[in-house]
Chains A and B, each alone.
Chain A
Amino acid sequence: MKKINTITFLIAIGAVMAYLSSASCGNGNGGNKTLGSTDTGKVTTKLSPILPFDVTLPPPPQRVLETTVRRGFDLFSWDSFIALSWPTDTTQVIGQHGDNATVWETWKKNYQVFLDSGQAPGSWDLTTQSKEVNLSQTGKTPPNMTAIFQPFLTGPLIDQNGQYNRFEIAMNQEMFEYIDQHKLYNIQGQQGFTDTVKFPEGDNTKKVWGAIMVKASWKILGKGDDTSRFHKIRATIHVPALPSRGIKDSTYEAWVGLVGFHIGTKTVTSPQWIWSTFEQVDNVPVFGKLEKGKHYNYYNGAAGDKALNKAPAQPWNPAIPNQIPSQVMRLTPIDTGTQALNDSIHKMLVMINPHNVWQYYELVGTQWPVNPTQSNTGNPFPVYMANATLETYDQGFIHAGKIVYSPGVTSSCIGCHNASVTWGGRPSDFTYLLKTAKPIKK
């Protein structure tokens, strides 16, 4: 059997699916597993808990950008999503009991790395770092960066119950250790760093994982939500103070459901990173393809489209009463090949358990650098890509009934992250995380 570290689907006529697996190695998360079909007791699946090192593509003669190459990257995305969403209880397979605590939720959160005190973060410890789930962000970027990004129309996403979405960011051990070893966890450390920031790269040849960062978008579960269709966690919800409205800083606990998920993976073949984005399937309708009667998380068929994909009026604070829900549509439909792959993976998840919660997540797309050495951005493809819960207001705009995209304005993972910098004024290797560092408190 051919040895590759991924689920591989062969695109032949009609997109025939096959699964290939390979040898034993770690999964990048501290445990050791054997690649290939997973068999835990009575449950067998071809899905794998092993994170891919890098993308695996067909031989050059068979590479066609929009079909076979896209499929290779989409497979990489799904492999990553499955492995990251795998149960922390390694005796289980994904969704065996419907929902499960996931591997990525044991990773370091951004607030556990970039401490308010500016001090060195604690060492990598899967047990302790997974116990804290504070959802304080109400925009795509952390509160202390919001002002910087207002020109990009970043704003809160409000669900049908008037609740703000919450967001969190986590990173894998390889990324954390690079930050830790180079003392990039505070402003002074970054200002003193005179080298080029270059996170580790995943490599199929060396069988090593590179830096991986994930960004999750959560909705507070409530009226109208079918909770069996969400990956759920109990989280501490933070409400920031807004003195002008008499709102005090507070926290409360609530069940939240995963609605959006970004995965950024640095690899040797994609030094501009591979950007994968997933959504919960009930989020939004596709522009021009409204399913009447369907409950959407962020669209109300009776509300009209005057405010379609527009950020709510300021001030932004989740405790302001009677907030108008966001009215959101997906402007760019999911590619048909990507959707076919989604359908195939969903069938595999249902085979594990008909109530498998992960069947309700779909790959929206994968963006990668087509010519990594051509320019700093490496000619990204697709040119634009947006997650309706994370780049809600940057999907493009509608003019005279047509969708208009604008380079430098419409969401492009690589295009936007290319502008990221450290506190030392140097490119930060496609992550804005370093800019969330604080100064050392003396």
Chain B
Amino acid sequence: MIPKIRLQGISKRFVVGSRAAPALEDVNLSLNSGDFVTLVGPSGCGKSTLFNILAGLIAPDPGGELYIDGKLEPADHLLGRVAFMPQRDMLMPWRTVLDNAILAAEIDGVPRAVARERARASLDRFGLRGFEGYHPGQLSGGMRQRVALMRTFLFDRDIMLLDEPFGALDALTRAMMQRWLLEVWEGAKRTVLFITHDIDEAIFLGDRVQVMSARPGHIKTELAVPLPRPRSPDVITSSPFVELKRTLLAAVEDESRKAFAAMNQHVLPDPGEA
């Protein structure tokens, strides 16, 4: 089976003044069509850089290769090819829920009336029926996130990149949103790459979990999640889940420690100078 998207040896270093700061180093990753892959890693490990590359917003360093449906693609060809949802919902306060949801499709060239019609048809699926005329300022955090997700889904692309979409939500809303996302995904069958800080979330949602290393980021471990779908909320207390979590925690802890140590090196004064 040809993977939907495959990264081979992707690296990225940013040049700050005279210093080169490596953000990603030799990232290899492949997603099959319809996969839900989650990505966990310590803060500042370059996850967002990876997403920006996949979204076509920044170019990786020369040498890496990027394939879509088995075809080698220059990085700037990715712009407009994947549906990207950033951490902040970035809803436009002047647009209604409905018009925020159609923004991506509208920019993509779908006539407004057609896009609105399609959006109206999926209001129920996104739990927004009755709110289509509201403005973002009138919505709760969970609802705003659903509008942003709806915008991402209505931008009809096979590949979806979700960057910690539930990061800012409270635990109860987040759990509800996770189950709801799985339902929507199972109905739409898109290829999803989902960034999160939360290991439970990574296991609960993913077919596979990728653990990224501390900066410069690369894929350190990959773990398949053989839990059957659809997954019920109580799966998180089952022993296979707990077993997976133990393995992942160990891997992530290790990297978090490294990231923390690297951070302290920059922050703490040199003891010799004291």
Report if A and B associate in a common complex. no
> Which residues of A come within 8 Å of B, CB atoms?
none
